[in-house]
Amino acid sequence: MNAFVIDGFEFCRLKERREGEIAVSDFARLVEELGNKSGTLQWSLQGGADKLDHPQLTLSVSGVVQLRCQRCLAPFAFTIASESILILAKDEASADEIDDLLADDTIDVIVGSRSLDVIGLIEDEALLALPISPKHATCLDQATADALNNTKADSPFSVLKNLKK
């Protein structure tokens, strides 16, 4: 996979837009968190400025990845649908300044670059969207067991009766 680098400040100034699709298997760090490498992520990056004229990127990442369930270890599909606003600061000091000024946790202030690694941004976005402790709502074996139980039970009340015996 070729590196994809933009001039962050020019991208914002010119209000450029890029979008594309990347195979999950191309994200080395992301793959480590997943049950398998299948799937693709769609992304878009829009340049612009916030109301105070700071360079601003809007990054959207979406797609379905296969997480590994921490309870039964089987993979399960998880839909990523994430959008972040990134303000580009000149350096660390002005990043802190802008962060204090905005006082908004939904906006990330990062140190911008003339050679900003877009793939890295997309991967970070995807990683942040993953649940910390992925688990099926109902694990596969449990689901099979429940299905079998349900065919025997006439109603939830008879299940309760059985439990009391």
User: Can you give the binding site for Zn ion, defined by CB under 5 A?
Assistant: 69, 71-72, 136, 139
Local structure of residue 116 (DSSP, 8 states): E
For residue 119, give the nearest of 57, 63, 69, 45 by alpha carbon: 45
- Shortest distance, position 139 Cβ to Zn ion, whole Å: 3
At 142, the amino acid letter reads Q
First to last CA, the chain: 61
Contact present, 31 and 25 (Cβ < 8 Å): yes
What does the block give as tokens for 152?
A: 């025997």
Given the complex with Zn ion, which of 142 and 158 has the nearer CB atom? 142
